[in-house]
């Protein structure tokens, strides 16, 4: 899977580290919504949660732009279909 585009500022290694850290935080009881409230990049939150097949935070606003940022090169309709 492609890393996030460079304008989002996250390399594949950073994305992998984010996945590990988010799993740790969730394991310690941190609510998914708190991650959004504290300012994590929505594209990173969306990408990590969908890659790991986790329930998306209720306060994460899903837009086609967000899906396009999270999965560059894949039309947002295909991302939506893959999530269903």
Write the pLDDT tens digit of every residue in 31-81: 999 999 999 989 899 999 999 999 999 999 988 888 888 877 776 666 666
- pLDDT at residue number 11: 82
Residue 1 covered by a domain: no
Separation CA 26–CA 46 (nearest Å): 15
Residue 3 covered by a domain: no
- pLDDT at residue number 1: 47
Residue 46 covered by a domain: yes
Residue 52 covered by a domain: yes
Provide the domain limits for residue 56. Answer: 9-83
Residue 38 covered by a domain: yes
At residue 7 the predicted structure's pLDDT band, cuts being 50, 70 and 90, is very low
Q: Please give the backbone phi and psi of residue 69, each rounded to the nearest 5 degrees, phi first.
A: -70, -40
Residue 2 covered by a domain: no
Q: Total structural domains in the chain?
A: 1
- pLDDT at residue number 51: 92
| Contact assessment for residue 63 and residue 38, using Cβ atoms and an 8 Å cutoff | no
Higher-scoring residue by pLDDT: 77, 6: 77
């Amino acid at each position: 899977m492609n890393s996030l585009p460079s304008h989002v500022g996250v390399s594949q290694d950073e994305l992998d580290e984010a996945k590990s850290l988010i799993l740790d935080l969730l394991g310690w009881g941190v609510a998914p919504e708190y991650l959004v409230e504290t300012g994590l990049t929505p594209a990173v939150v969306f990408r990590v949660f969908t890659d790991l097949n986790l329930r998306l935070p209720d306060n994460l606003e899903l837009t086609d732009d967000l899906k396009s940022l999270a999965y560059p090169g894949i039309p947002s309709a295909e991302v939506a279909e893959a999530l269903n």
